[in-house]
Amino acid sequence: MTDKIEGIVSLENDYPESGYAWYVVVLLTLGYILSFLDRIIINLLVEPIKADFALTDTQIGLLMGVAFSIFYATMGIPLGWLADNMKRKTLVAVGMLVWSAATCFSGYAKSFIGLFAARIGVGAGEATLSPCAISLISDLFPEEKRGRAIALYSSALSIASATAFYLGGQILTWANTTDTSSMFLIGGLKPWQIVFVVVGAPGVLLSFFMLLVKEPKRQIKRVKNESPISFLKTINYYKNNLGSFLGVSLLVGVMTTIAYAQFFSTSLFIRTWGWEASDYAFRNSIGLLVFAPPSVMIAGWFVDKLHKQGVEDAAWKVFKIGFIIMIPPNVLFPLMPDPWIALYVSFFGLIGIATVTAAGVPAMLKIIPGKIRAQSIAIYYMIISMCGLLIGPTSVGFLADTFGSLQYSMAIVPAIFGILGLCFLPMINRIYLNQLKKEITI
């Protein structure tokens, strides 16, 4: 398949040296780890925040999802346009600084409103990362090597989850057992507030490393003095190619809804089985590291292997396998009679989530023009983020407040959306395969 794009002189095909390309991917992956760490650390801190601010589960769900998504989802689109038309490394560096500072400010919040505002800042900063990162990776590697690079970047989600639980648990334990009253910046803060400040600080440093990165050449060369592709033109393209793009995005949105519904997992183990937050954090972090990163890397390797064998829909095949695997364990684990069984079942659900995460972006890249890649990925992340963040934790919190059972709430949400996704999968599969046969034009 070739890109038939108006205004192209030639493909650059001038990729940077492999070692440097992987160095940039590692920096981006570290940034993604820190961004997701700052995003999900609140998972571990639900109970003390809820107690200190006298919040309901619905309000906690709003902090986890709606507050973060207000700018994370909507700012991604204009930022994606900027990423297609200016230096992406600068956007990433500024975004890192913003979300890291906002995470630190979360530790100084004195009310629900203050914490809600800080979480908006975290989302606004993080919105810069993925559209720029995927665009950068696409210009760092040829297509046959791109799957592994994207898989490494995508593995940040699971690594960050494990890191968030492990480090968050350790910091929380340390803050609960140490006199921090005279310490710089954290003196007088409560343990949960200290966690926010400590996990937010490293991103400030990493932002300066990103500024030193050399911007790679864009692999699609434009005519001299050609004006940038407008966002309106991008929208017009999708008006004519909506089905496959929207179908894949909504299926990944099912994954994010199921994944973000698990933001209440710490509270589930505390309330249902009496575990301490630090105990759950340590045990869950081990499982996340054992199951999730290998699943992401294996999925990326399998995509590349199939692609080299000439399988045009390689990423899509892997995606479908992960989607089907993902649903049953995530419905069942909250209903288990024993906490250890619940924990192990949840780990199997991670395999499916990780596989969908790794294969979703490569599958999407096969059906979008390179010239609007960052804008398209921004729209993609907007859709999946709005699905996951607006629906996942908020619906679990609302159901828990309404029916008084966090266990059933955490099982109902993946059951409903998982079944809907499976029902639409055959239709979306047909649309995607038909789109794959077309030339990509804009």
What gap in Å lies between CA 442 and CA 439, rounded to an integer? Answer: 10
CB neighbour list of residue 137: distance below 8 Å, 6 or more residues apart: 25, 28, 146, 149, 150, 153
Check whether 316 has a pLDDT greater than 50.
Answer: yes
Q: How far apart are CA 134 and CA 149, in angstroms?
A: 10
What's the pLDDT tens digit per position in 338-358?
A: 999 999 999 999 999 989 988
Is residue 330 left, alpha or beta, with left meaning phi > 0 and alpha meaning psi from -120 to 50?
A: alpha
CATH of the domain at 427: 1.20.1250.20
Other beta carbons within 10 Å of 16: 16
Q: Is 10 helix (H, G, I), strand (E, B) or coil?
A: strand
Checking DSSP bridges between strand 220-222 and strand 440-441, what pairing results, if any? unpaired
CA distance 20 to 226: 30
| pLDDT above 70 coverage of the chain, percent | 91
Residue 201: burial class (beta carbons within 10 Å; 0-12, 13-18, 19+)? middle
Q: Which of 118-122, 140-144, 416-420 has the lowest mean pLDDT?
A: 140-144
| pLDDT band (50, 70, 90) for residue 37 | confident
Q: Would you say residue 222 has pLDDT above 60?
A: no
Per-residue confidence band for 380, with pLDDT thresholds at 50, 70 and 90: confident
pLDDT digits (tens, 9 = 90+) for 146-172: 777 877 887 777 677 777 778 878 888
pLDDT for the residue numbered 303: 86
Max mean pLDDT among 264-268, 277-281, 372-376 falls in 264-268
Residues 386-398: what's their mean pLDDT? 90
- For the record, the structure tokens of 64 come out as 């986890």
Is the pLDDT at 231 greater than 70, yes or no? no
Q: Quick check: 2 pLDDT over 50? A: no
pLDDT over 60 at 104, yes or no = yes
How far, CA to CA in Å, does 65 sit from each of 122, 277, 369, 386, 432? 12, 21, 31, 9, 30
Residue 61 in this model has a pLDDT that exceeds 60: yes
Residue with tokens 């986890």: 64
The number of beta carbons lying within 10 Å of the beta carbon of residue 282 is 15
SS3 assignment for 64-127: HHHHHHHHHHHCHHHHHHHHHHCCHHHHHHHHHHHHHHHHHHHCCCCCHHHHHHHHHHHHHHHC
How far apart CA 386 and CA 70 sit, in angstroms, is: 9
The pLDDT value recorded for residue 225 is 47
Ranges 130-134, 223-227, 261-265: which has the least confidence = 223-227
Euclidean distance between CA atoms 196 and 119, whole angstroms: 11
Give the pTM.
0.74
Better-predicted residue by pLDDT, 441 or 185: 185
What CA–CA distance (Å, rounded) separates 151 from 301? 8
Domain that holds residue 61: 3-441
253 has pLDDT over 90: yes
In the chain, the number of structural domains is: 1
pLDDT category, 228, cuts 50, 70, 90?
low
Mean pLDDT of the chain: 84
Per-residue pLDDT for 6 more than 60? Answer: no
Instruction: Give DSSP secondary structure letters for 364-428.
Output: HHTTS-GGGHHHHHHHHHHHHHIIIIIIHHHHHHHHHHHHS-HHHHHHHHHHHHHHHHHHHHHHH
